Amino acid sequence: MSYFVPCGPAEAEFIERKSRFIGYVRHIGSGPEALEAIQSVRALHPAANHHVYAYSARADNAIRCSDDGEPHGTAGMPVMEVFKREDMDDYVCVVVRYFGGILLGAGGLIRAYAGTAKLVLDAAGKARLSPYRTGLLECPYPLLAQTRLLFAAHGAEEDSAEYGASVLMQFTQPEEQWDGLAAALTELSAGQMMPECVDTVLKPRRIEVL
């Protein structure tokens, strides 16, 4: 099952009536990793008035947000809603605020925190976390050049090659393209070559915005 994550990490800044908002976002894999990222931003901005955050980690079902002293519902939840609308998961976003001396009111805070979260998410970019297969293939030397052409045509990236009696190739490929490559290799080699799947992992694939 695929879902969206930030390409990140990224940083963005927003000024509203002399208050300075600085947003940070990154892709994370667990709740503890999100907490480490939050602490690193706190350490970077020890004099800030607020360190508002939101995060979601699918692996341990950790979903949290904090207003960090701002009026309830005006900071952490608006940040989280930005990421919900984009169907994002496995992210942590921290928005730091340096108070500028002018009160923004509840509506102004919501707009400022949500706006900063959107700015930093746009800066990070959006990726789809999709399943990739790691494959092994024994390739005869006479078919090596054609095999590499097939790799390129079917989205496979060659990770390594060991040269012996034949070439043992390790490659990574989007799962949905596996069958097409396997069929092409079988046809090329008259049934002699068949890739072996040794692992499946989730990797981010950037979504290009036109």
Domain positions in the chain:
3-124, 130-206
- What's the token pair of residue 154? 């079917």
pLDDT at 208: 55
pLDDT band at 131 (very low <50, low <70, confident <90, very high): confident
pLDDT at 52: 97
pLDDT at 130: 81
We find that the CATH architecture of domain 130-206 is 2-Layer Sandwich (3.30)
We find that the CATH architecture of domain 3-124 is 2-Layer Sandwich (3.30)
d(CA 93, CA 121): 9
User: Is the torsion defined by CA of 52, 56, 60, 62 positive or negative?
Assistant: positive
